[in-house]
Structure 1
Amino acid sequence: MTQSGRHQQLKMEVDSSFSNTVIVAMAVRGICEMTLLTPVEVSRLELCLVEVLNNTIEHAYNNQPGNVVETLVDISDTAVSITVSDRGLALPAEILNESANHAEQMLNNPTLQSSGRGLFIVNSLMDFVHYETLSGKNSFSLGINIHGNE
């Protein structure tokens, strides 16, 4: 973990195997439990992290081990953010738009495949979400603002 001022960061790299999502989730949960996030916020962050990690392995790497999945945890006085990065297939823009535009329809359709639901859940539970692809590196960032002991 590096520290500069009031920022702390931890970078983890794991193989694109579903069993590694547990390791990353446990590490991030442990770190987040030492912040001012509430237990509910920590659980929400962990749930969303696992969703993004699983989607990365499933969609970016087509369920194939042997690829790097990078997770960067950034803690400041105001927020905890997590960025999951890969060099696999990028998330299609229509998936991002579909999640934002058809969220209610997706939740109310019992025959809908799992595709898209996770992204909607992440968007609903996090204070901020961002996705970008730069120079072949896909990065999905999510986070929760720290409100302190209110």
Structure 2
Amino acid sequence: MQLAVQFEAEPGKITIGITSLMGQLKPHVKDVADLGTIELVIAEVLNNITEHAYSDQGFGVIEGQFEVQEGKLSVHLHDHGKPMPGLELPKGKLADLNVDLQDLPEGGFGWYMIRQLTQGLTYRRLDDQNHLSFEIELAS
């Protein structure tokens, strides 16, 4: 099963796009835990693109290709936003949480989570576009 989906990179519209995507995936991904993982990862990635790649543009489009086959979901997303700093993915290291509440870092948890829940995570900048690909293993 293959899907091509466009998301409008605006906070409220990202939620609508994710809801639509999950409805299309549900007949092909039977395990509820898998659906939760997919939604969590996709939401984090799309919100990062919206917040950072399109931060000074106000609006943008994120195009995605999704394929369910042989126990995995393959995802490829691309956008015309700003490139990743240094043209590489954030390290996604878990910050030290043994600090006072006011000293907890803001951000940084998303990429850690994405790296923990996906396989084959890659980023490339080609022809003024960001390309992000990864897979999520499925139980069903």
Matched with 1:86 is 79
Task: Say if 1:34 and 1:57 are closer, same or farther in 2 by CA, change over 3 A.
Answer: same
Whether 1:59 aligns to 2:34 is no
Task: Say if 1:81 and 1:122 are closer, same or farther in 2 by CA, change over 3 A.
Answer: same
Task: Say if 1:57 and 1:97 are closer, same or farther in 2 by CA, change over 3 A.
Answer: closer
Which piece of structure 1 moves more, 11-20 or 63-72? 63-72
CA RMSD of aligned residues (A): 2.3
Matched with 2:37 is 44
Match of 2:22 among 29, 39, 43: 29
Which piece of structure 1 moves more, 76-85 or 90-99? 90-99
Matched with 1:133 is 125
Aligned residues: 136
Matched letter for residue 130 of structure 1? T
| Structure 2: gaps of 5 or more residues | none
2:96 and 2:75 map into 1 onto residues whose CA distance is 25
Instruction: Indicate the percent of aligned positions where both proteins have the same amino acid.
Output: 23
TM-score (norm 2): 0.82
Task: Say if 1:39 and 1:107 are closer, same or farther in 2 by CA, change over 3 A.
Answer: farther
Structure 1 position 17, deviation (Å)? 0.8
Which contiguous aligned blocks of 4+ residues in structure 1 show a shift greater than 4 angstroms?
none
1:89 and 1:56 map into 2 onto residues whose CA distance is 9
| Structure 1: gaps of 5 or more residues | 1-7
Task: Say if 1:80 and 1:37 are closer, same or farther in 2 by CA, change over 3 A.
Answer: farther
2:15 and 2:56 map into 1 onto residues whose CA distance is 16
SS of match in other structure, 1:13: strand
Structure 1 position 63, deviation (Å)? 5.9
1:44 and 1:97 map into 2 onto residues whose CA distance is 20
1:64 and 1:94 map into 2 onto residues whose CA distance is 19
Matched with 1:5 is none
Structure 1 position 76, deviation (Å)? 1.8
2:123 and 2:59 map into 1 onto residues whose CA distance is 23
Match of 2:62 among 69, 94, 97: 69
TM-score (norm 1): 0.77
